[in-house]
Amino acid sequence: MLSSLPPLTVVIAAPRGFCAGVDRAIKIVELALERYGAPVYVRHEIVHNKFVVDRLRRLGAIFVEELDEVPDGLPVVFSAHGVPKAVPAAAQERGLDYLDATCPLVSKVHRQAERLIEAGRHIIFIGHAGHPEVIGTFGQVPAGAMTLVETVGDVATLRPADPDNLAFLTQTTLSVDDTAAIVAALRARFPGIRAPRGEDICYATSNRQAAVKAIASRCDRLLVIGAPNSSNSVRLVEVAEREGVPARLIQRAGEMDWDWLGDARNLGLTAGASAPEVLVQEVLDTLARRYTLQVEEAEHVPEGMTFKLPRELVA
């Protein structure tokens, strides 16, 4: 019997979803709960995804914004976004057991910042004001040693005390294209500015943006599964729209806007680096109740990146 449902081709971007840093951070909380028992406190959302946070909360994790909210004698985990140096120092002073789930690629930026300051350079940091990763990175160096820029326009307003002794670093979850434009503006204005030794924007952010670009020409609409406070997820929406494809960010299938989807026949689907694959399947299952689906996954080279867990959890 022929289906009476309208046809819809869903083109799933690849790679998508969890990156190695997110996977590691979640595993750290899970192992801490096994090792110490509930509750385990987590300073800030371990990753920016409500589904993930709610699941860990059910297992016994308690999420707080400040270390002052952690009772004495209980373990605390620092989120994947990184924290200022003052936070672990305060934990040590209180005698708290703490585990640092900072993504190793964010930690790499922290180490670069320290070395540049030791070399006497002022750092121009490309990022988004208020993002936990930016706050954490600024907290690695003395106050006033780093200046934030968010746009190409910000570059024109810079008035560094020593224009010939600058360096730049970037947040790991930025738009590749936006960042390239800002870097070009910095280099044009300050030709001697020192660049990072390697790319600061992480492999997962770059790969997921490239994956959206790769499928954009085949799509009438594109859905990104991710949280509104997830920088890398928001960037995926921007990438799609720059490619001329209307795009929406949703956290769960229940947020689907059917009027927005309209009479689209080719829908792109991806997930930010903090969104688990189960949410991709949830969206597909929801679509299948309204459409006769044809699902196509884009070809890709598997990422294969893994990061070591803290020694105290695997010993």
Catalytic residues: 133
CB atoms within 10 A of CB 285: 11
Q: Could you tell me which of 81, 24, 86, 71 has the C-alpha nearest to residue 48? A: 81
Edge-to-edge order in the sheet of strand 76-78? 61-64, 40-43, 76-78, 98-100
232 is in an annotated binding site: yes
Cα torsion 49, 50, 56, 58 to 10°: value is -170
128 is in an annotated binding site: no
81 is in an annotated binding site: yes
Determine contact, residues 133/101, Cβ cutoff 8 Å: no
Omega before residue 39 within 30° of 0, cis: yes
Go through 8-44 and write b for each residue having 16 or more CB atoms within 10 A of its CB, e for each that does not. Answer: bbbbbbbbbbbbbbbbbbbbbbbbbbeeeeebbbbbb
The two tokens of residue 61 are 């994790």
103 is in an annotated binding site: yes
233 is in an annotated binding site: no
274 is in an annotated binding site: yes
Nearest 5 degrees, angle CA 97-CA 27-CA 169? Answer: 80
219 is in an annotated binding site: no
217 is in an annotated binding site: no
202 is in an annotated binding site: yes
Q: Which residues are annotated as a binding site for [4Fe-4S] cluster?
A: 19, 103, 202
Q: Which residues are annotated as a binding site?
A: 19, 48, 81, 103, 131, 172, 202, 230-232, 274
Q: Which residues are annotated as a binding site for isopentenyl diphosphate?
A: 48, 81, 131, 230-232, 274
